[in-house]
Amino acid sequence: MKKIEVLVGVGDWPCLQAAKRAKADAVYFGLKDFNLRAFAKNFELSELKKVVDFCHKSKMKAYLTLNSIVYDNELGKVGKILSEAKKAKVDAIICSDLAVMKLAKARKLPIHVSTQMSISNSLAVEQIEKMFGVERVVLARELSIENIKELKKKTKVGIEVFCHGSMCVSISGRCFLSLNCFDKSANNGECTQVCRRTFYMKESDKNLDVVGNTIFSSKDLCTMGFLDKIVELGPVALKIEGRTKPAEYVYVTAKVYKSALKDIAEKKFTEKKKKAYLKELGTVYNRGFT
């Protein structure tokens, strides 16, 4: 079995240090601008080299997220950030806007296509690789194991799969609920998580209280129960969502998935182990698991 990278999101220094303790293979993080976790603490541009150096000394790769929509008046600032990322020796840029990909390619920075692009088929992978020479594609969370299997057969581009964390009730990169309700765009990192609120149904003159239910609030993704099936697909990386989560979450999730992958490689991934891992994952923040 080829080594599969365990990649975890970090939003601040305590989380970065937690990733190191868990022996994560890589981290992804954002700066104050142009990433989809505007409400996370994030890092300053002036800290970028320090963050990357810390990761490399800790034997972790450092991926910078610049995956929001970018407008013309912001291109200069994006270019500056990418130039600084090049100097800092960032291992890859995670992005979804074609302009960011073009600017990253011009600086010879490795490109990982964000799930915000909602890549769902092999032709899309082929086209984006042809245009920008992308190194990796983070597939849409909505894909089934069969979808991924078919796609993987037809491309040599590295495939990254989300294995754990929060999920959007909408389709990756195509939710406008927050923008419509509160003029805060999820595609610019300002999601107000309208879907997590309590909704009431109304039909004609009748109000139907769905037991005050959060009917649009998805449970969290957890692939531990079938992680061996995910591994068989041949992804280059498993991604853990959580750049707004605390250090404890980062440590536990990264550690557990690292241990599970080791068990799978050694053919020790038993039902007993699965239950133990699921129990441990349940000790940190979650909304219940899928």
Nearest to 247 by CA among 11, 42, 3: 11
Q: How many helices (H) and strands (E) does the chain have?
A: 10, 11
Angstrom distance (rounded) from CA 231 to CA 211: 39
User: Average pLDDT of 183-211?
Assistant: 70
Say yes or no to pLDDT of 46 above 70: yes
Residue 42: pLDDT band (50, 70, 90) is confident
Angstrom distance (rounded) from CA 225 to CA 209: 34
Q: What is the pLDDT of residue 38?
A: 61
Mean pLDDT, the chain, whole residue set: 91
Q: What is the pLDDT of residue 212?
A: 59
Nearest to 191 by CA among 36, 67, 34: 36
Q: Give all domains of the chain, ordered by start, each with its CATH number.
A: 5-167+218-281 (3.20.20.70), 175-217 (no CATH)
Say yes or no to pLDDT of 211 above 80: no
Of the chain, the percentage scoring pLDDT greater than 70 comes to 92
> What global pTM score does this model have?
0.90
